[in-house]
Amino acid sequence: MIWSIAWKNVWRNRKRSLIVIASVMLGTTAGVFTTGLIIGWVDQRVKVVIHTEDAHIKIHSPAYLSNEEISNTIQQSDAIAHYLDKMPEVKAYSKRIKLMTMAATSRGNTALLLQGIDVMKEKQVSELYTQIIPNGGNFFENAGSYPIVISEKSAEQLRIKSFQLSESKIDSLQKADVPGDVLAKLNPILNIRYNTKNLFRKDVEKYLSKKEISNYGFAINKASEHFRLRSKIVFTLTDKQGELISQSFRVCGIFHTSNSMFDQLNAFVLQKDLAQLAGMGPNEFHEIGVLLHDNEATKSVQQDIKKHFPQASVLNWMELAPDAGIITQYMDLYNYIIMGFILFALAFGIINTMLMAVLERTKELGMLMAIGMNHKRVFNMIMLETVFLTLVGAVAGMLLGWIVIEISSRTGLDFSSVGEGFEAMGWPAIVYPRITFNYFVGITLLVIATGILASIIPARKALKLNPVEAIRTDN
């Protein structure tokens, strides 16, 4: 009976209750969507770490981690490879040679970590081959002699990437809904080649307004990009005998990932080319990347490899990318803290509403207590009203938040306009939010707890009423 009375009391002042419910709904929607955004971001970061940057497990010589010298190769690499072949948890592995080098073209230079890879093995472990940009060549397919795959970031530093607007690119921008009058303003820089993005951007800013640059600048920059494939890059490195040697490689492909630091450091060549150049033997490798069938098996496989090969350094992806590892471990806590702050703020509005409801019903509550309703039932009635009020708004908010997440998980949320800032931290510019059912269960419990806590002050106010004095009031 108390439950029925409490539910009817919620709707006695329909307008006030709907305002509170709407507030709770919007707050819950914001919390659910923020959580989905964070989960989606973390999922994509972890996927990039495992399937592009590090794999589930990496094996090195302990000496290589403290000093990346060419001589610090993995001991018993053959025995480790045979052991990995027998492990059912292992999906694939790739052996790599890694050497720090200086790269130079006629227009620029930079330091790069050359990774010598077996292409077929690497494709089984890493999805890097899927990150080749449009019109950016290929991943060692019919690549010719001494091919190399570099990042878009390295292409900029080595001036292999340039910027030029041609008539065909103007046509493509028109098809991408860039207004013709905006493109007409760019005629003075048509067919002019710029070696850097800054030079191109400065000239674009001369002819377009800030609003036009804000709306169409990203599309214009992307359309104007031009890559000089087959460009020659000269690498200088120290071989196994300590001799300084140089070798030219030709660009066959250009990749782009969501981690600009990874892109800026790494370039990939054929293992046989790098081994021959550095004078390394057929079983000398600096790293073995191991991909597993199931992420849950990472720590057990890591311990197993450590046990059988104590002379090797065996690290999992959480140790190799601590930013992703820490966020993954504490993600649920972060999400509930965010939702807790939102509900804490909403609780003050709920308390205020329930206090007003108690004051309006002073005479009624006095009569109920006078005819025998004990303090426990009065407290339960006020508490249930508060929980109902909060729960209705929260359920509506969770439903609305889930709908928004479902829609945005298909289309993705594009932060490309500020993508450079995200990628500098290793986070993707396009996010696909995701939410789990367990989180909704957690929110429901938080909402009920919030309703109970928010009901304490109004309920105490009701319990302090003197039945005789309350009946005499005009309320």
Higher-pLDDT residue of 369, 395: 395
In degrees rounded to 5, what are phi and psi of residue 208?
-115, 150
Between the alpha carbon of residue 343 and those of residues 21, 150, 390, 400, 443, the distances in Å are: 12, 48, 9, 17, 10
The answer to whether the pTM exceeds 0.85 is no
Where does the pLDDT of residue 365 fall: very low under 50, low under 70, confident under 90, or very high at 90 and above?
low
Where does the pLDDT of residue 400 fall: very low under 50, low under 70, confident under 90, or very high at 90 and above?
very high
Q: Tell me the range of 55-59, 161-165, 353-357 where mean pLDDT is highest.
A: 55-59
> What's the CA angle centered on 334, arms 330 and 338, to 5 degrees?
170
Average pLDDT of the chain, as a whole number: 86
Mean pLDDT of 61-66: 90
Q: Tell me the range of 345-349, 363-367, 418-422 where mean pLDDT is highest.
A: 345-349
Where does the pLDDT of residue 451 fall: very low under 50, low under 70, confident under 90, or very high at 90 and above?
confident
Q: Which two tokens stand for residue 298?
A: 């990472």
Distance, CA of 306 to CA of 286 (rounded, Å): 17
- Give the side-chain half-sphere CA count within 13 A for 6: 20
> Which stretch of 60-74, 121-135, 360-374, 439-453 has the lowest confidence by average pLDDT?
360-374
Distance, CA of 369 to CA of 465 (rounded, Å): 9
pLDDT surpassing 80 at residue 332: no
The pLDDT score that the predictor gives to residue 422 is 66
Q: Which two tokens stand for residue 407?
A: 């829609």
Higher-pLDDT residue of 27, 103: 103
Kindly report, residue by residue over 5-35, the tens digit of the pLDDT: 777 777 777 888 888 888 888 988 988 888 8
Kindly report, residue by residue over 266-321, the tens digit of the pLDDT: 999 999 999 999 999 888 999 999 999 999 999 999 999 999 999 999 999 988 88
Residue % of the chain over a pLDDT of 70: 92
pLDDT surpassing 70 at residue 468: no
pLDDT surpassing 70 at residue 261: yes
Kindly report, residue by residue over 147-191, the tens digit of the pLDDT: 999 999 999 889 888 888 888 888 888 888 888 888 889 888 988
